[in-house]
Amino acid sequence: MITSKNNKGLERTGNTSSVTADSFEPVSKDEIQTSRLHLRIMPAGWIYACVLLILMVSAMINVMNLLVLLFGLMIGPFAFSIFFAWNSLRGIQLIRHIPQRVEAGEPFSVEINLTKTQGLTSGWALTVEDYVHPLESDTPVPGFHPRVWFLRAVSGHTIQGNYRAMIAQRGRYRFGALKLSTRFPLGLFELNRFFVHDADLIVFPRLGKLNVRRDSPSFVAPNSQTMWKSRTNMQGSEYHSLRDFRPGDNPRWIHWRTTARVGEPMIREFDDHQRQKVLVVLDPWIPEAPTLHETDRVELAVSCATTMCTHFTRSGHAEVQLLIGGPTIEVVQGMSSHVLLQRMLDLLATAHPSSNTSLNDLLRRTSSSVRDDTRMLIISTRTGPVDNSRYESSPLSNNRRKTNTSNARSDRRVKFLRVGSHEFSECYQLR
């Protein structure tokens, strides 16, 4: 479901609506290609032309000066409409600003800046139409064509317009060409021009609500021992070493005294046992002939995995790993940071379900990197019984059996959530 809302008659600068996104995508004027002007005669224009043709033929046959005079008076507005429309579109440049990422189901704003650099007169009654369509969508999602109307474009000035839209389906969307058109002054013709500049928008899955109460036995409830260590590291100086700041590091772990002394950002590095290690495994299984209900289960699982990754990457000093099954297995991991969260959101936005992926194959991909103190969360959409014998024989389970931990502690480290189960509903709820 895609809806849009236009803001018409905007002739202002600097005022924009709030956007649910990270930032706007920069656009260069040199990257925008413009097409030639195209003239389209409207139905009223065809009627007007037929009347002119009848007057011209009648004047030539009857040789009546009154008909010739009437023909001359009527052809003037006809030619003036073409000239005025051409002059209105002359020297106009369009620049579109879109957010890089938005959440599915949340409204966002797209800005369109119109600049007229030349022309004998101002441009009047200008319409800008945008073309948006999905890329690589598993479900048929129609595109939409929002429009923004500008009343007047003065030569040498830039005016701003915007429209608000909401995309309910996750995925990658392409913003194609911008169509600039006008029918001013008489509506006999429509003169249009296309500004070609493709830009992509990533719509990540909807975020839900997790059960994170401290007195709850839920898997996502904060670990008191880990939180105490995190507070100790923030207030004291119990760190392993210092290193240069890298893109994606948490700015809260910068050692400011050393940074001021050396003149470059230096970040604290802690021991591995002080980090909270989390592995989120998404198993988007779907039958070969899925129903609408089974497709909704996959979207619910992807939404749950997105909420989990967002929760753990924002919880503090944690090492988070995401494993996504499907036609191709995707893995992303790193320390909790905004850059890591963006990478995870990009993968989850374009995750595709599959009916041929084995859960045991997913676990084998993590056996080499998962340690005994890693908290693993498996989110699966499988409706049938899971083959426990294959899971118990996986290398990941073999590594866990080598440790001297109790069964209760092992259950807290590994949690299997089946979409639609009572345990899944208690742990996660869609907003």
Which tokens is 107 given? 């409204």
Domain 2-204, CATH number (from 3.30.420.10, 2.60.40.1730, 3.90.190.20, 2.60.40.10): 2.60.40.10
- Superfamily name and number for 208-236+275-430: von Willebrand factor, type A domain (3.40.50.410)
CB 271 within 8 A of CB 343: no
**What's the pLDDT score for residue 217?**
45
**What's the pLDDT score for residue 156?**
86
Distance CA 289, CA 131 (A): 32
Q: Is the dihedral of CA 331, 334, 336, 337 positive or negative?
A: negative
219-241 pLDDT, tens per residue? 554 443 443 344 444 444 455 56
**What's the pLDDT score for residue 112?**
93
Ordered by start, the domain boundaries in the chain are 2-204, 208-236+275-430
**What's the pLDDT score for residue 203?**
93
**What's the pLDDT score for residue 367?**
59
**What's the pLDDT score for residue 33?**
59
My answer on whether omega of the bond before 43 falls inside 30° of 0, hence cis, is no
Consecutive H or E run containing 379: strand 375-380
pTM of the model: 0.72
Instruction: Write out the DSSP string of 90-136.
Output: TTEEEEEE-BSEEETT-EEEEEEEEEE---SS-EEEEEEEEEEEEES
**What's the pLDDT score for residue 23?**
42
Task: Please provide residue 166's backbone torsions phi and psi, each rounded to the nearest 5 degrees.
Answer: -140, 125
pLDDT (tens place) for every residue of the chain, 431 residues total: 444 444 433 333 333 333 333 444 444 444 455 677 888 888 988 998 898 888 888 888 887 888 888 888 888 888 888 888 888 888 888 999 999 899 998 999 999 999 988 777 788 899 999 999 888 765 556 778 899 999 988 888 899 999 999 998 899 999 988 999 999 888 888 999 898 888 899 999 999 888 765 444 445 544 434 433 444 444 444 555 676 776 656 677 788 888 888 888 877 765 545 567 888 889 888 888 888 888 889 999 999 999 989 888 887 667 888 988 888 888 888 887 888 889 999 999 998 888 887 777 777 776 555 666 778 888 988 876 555 444 444 444 545 444 444 444 444 577 888 888 888 888 888 87
Contacts of 303 (CB under 8 A, 6+ apart): 205, 206, 207, 208, 430
Residue 124, strand partner residues: 152
27-45 pLDDT, tens per residue? 444 445 567 788 888 898 8
